[in-house]
Amino acid sequence: DTAIEKAMSALEARNTLLAQEVLDGDDVINALRFEIEKEALRTLATQQPAAIDLRTTIVGMHLATELERIGDHAAGIAGLVARMEEEDEIKSLHKLPKMTNRARKMLNQGIQAFVENDVELAHAVFQREDKLDRHYQSLVQILIDAMQDDAYIRRATFLLWIGHNVERIGDRATNIAERVIFMATGQMIEIADTLDE
């Protein structure tokens, strides 16, 4: 969550030093993922957990992977901020701040659902996913329309990629919520299954 917040702050302030902090921090996130996976594998090998303990260990490994990939998306945003340094000032970031807040809430709810083994909270993540996707589609349309002005094409393209990274963060949070439900219930579900109910 900190990497996402810093990446978006770097975008809003056009702060390439802050963007570089996010890029530098990505290695730390990657190392933490591998450390968690090693510990989980050690637990599986030495303690042979069963039932909920086994599912929790496996989901913990998946969670580490999703968080590492979210860090990659934050680094992707930060990398684009550095490339936008030569662009004119961005008067409006369109729906990006709203999208980012929604994605961060989804992520925080997913992590809290894992920590508390809370199926209801995991389902709340799914409810936010649809709205995030609508924000993203709206952003895409706004930026495609803006590209009618040749002077805006490069800037709009960068903003499209940033929006894509934010939308993927939401998808990763949804993956976490799906795994929490598996951990708590033993049932594998996908978001489409829950939205049809």
* pLDDT tens digits along 74-104: 999 999 988 887 666 666 677 888 899 999 9
Burial class (CB within 10 angstroms; exposed 0-12, middle 13-18, buried 19+) of 129:
buried
pTM here?
0.89
Fold for the domain defined by 2-195 = Methane Monooxygenase Hydroxylase; Chain G, domain 1 (1.20.58)
- Please say whether the dihedral angle defined by the alpha carbons of residues 154, 107, 94 and 164, taken in this order, is positive or negative: positive
List the chain domain ranges: 2-195
- What is the spatial distance between Cα 64 and Cα 76, in angstroms, rounded to a whole number? 18
* pLDDT tens digits along 107-166: 999 999 999 999 999 999 999 999 999 999 999 998 999 899 998 888 889 999 999 999
Cβ atoms of 3 and 77 closer than 8 Å: no
